[in-house]
């Protein structure tokens, strides 16, 4: 049996399983730091339906990796234009892309680097969506 050390609490945990401390951390974050309006949106029936449709459109694979010729399981439905910047696009399928956690981190690293890097990443994400045959490049205008 393989084990790993939890980076948060230092406890030994079986490989592939979440440490029990993770649930406590998420609850504390929700209670103390998360924007209540944003949390309400991400728990809404509309968001859950659109997110499910995006995952199905992607075939449950990372759409950016798929555009690059690789097949990687996806994990996160990401807003290309953040809700804070473009709230009108928060439920637009043309503004949502399904990506892996690794790709999601790369995206946010680019977004946080500088405005030019953010714009380039957004263009790259939109181009990846345009390559998706289920969309055929005919998605909603963003």
Q: Based on the domain organization, do 57 and 91 belong to the same domain?
A: yes
Paired strand residues for 77: 98
Q: Based on the domain organization, do 131 and 83 belong to the same domain?
A: yes
**pLDDT tens per residue, range 82-108:** 999 999 999 999 999 999 999 999 999
Q: Based on the domain organization, do 25 and 60 belong to the same domain?
A: no
Number of domains in the chain: 2
Q: Based on the domain organization, do 4 and 73 belong to the same domain?
A: no
For the full predicted model, state whether its pTM sits above 0.95.
no
Q: Based on the domain organization, do 12 and 61 belong to the same domain?
A: no
Contact of 110 with 120, CB cutoff 8 Å: yes
Q: Based on the domain organization, do 69 and 28 belong to the same domain?
A: no
Q: Based on the domain organization, do 71 and 122 belong to the same domain?
A: yes
**pLDDT tens per residue, range 69-85:** 999 999 999 999 999 99
Count the neighbouring beta carbons within 10 Å of the beta carbon of residue 116.
Answer: 9
How high is the pLDDT of residue 134? 64
Boundaries of domain holding 16: 1-34
Structural tokens at position 105: 């981190």
Mean pLDDT confidence for 106-125? 96
Q: Based on the domain organization, do 116 and 137 belong to the same domain?
A: yes
Q: Based on the domain organization, do 42 and 30 belong to the same domain?
A: no
Q: Based on the domain organization, do 29 and 44 belong to the same domain?
A: no
Q: Is the confidence at residue 110, as pLDDT, over 80? A: yes
């Amino acid at each position: 049996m393989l084990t790993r050390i939890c980076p948060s609490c230092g406890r030994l945990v079986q490989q592939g399983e979440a440490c029990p401390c993770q649930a406590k951390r998420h609850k504390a974050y929700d209670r103390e730091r998360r924007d209540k309006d944003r949390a309400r949106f991400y728990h809404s029936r509309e968001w859950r339906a659109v997110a499910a449709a995006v995952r199905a459109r992607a075939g449950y694979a990372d759409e950016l990796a798929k555009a690059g010729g690789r097949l990687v399981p996806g994990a996160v439905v990401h807003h290309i234009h953040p809700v804070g910047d473009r709230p009108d696009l928060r439920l637009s399928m043309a503004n949502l892309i399904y990506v892996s956690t690794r790709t999601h981190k790369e995206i946010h690293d680019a977004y946080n680097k500088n405005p030019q890097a953010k714009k380039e990443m957004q263009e790259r994400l939109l181009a990846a969506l345009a390559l998706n045959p289920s969309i055929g490049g005919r998605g909603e205008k963003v």
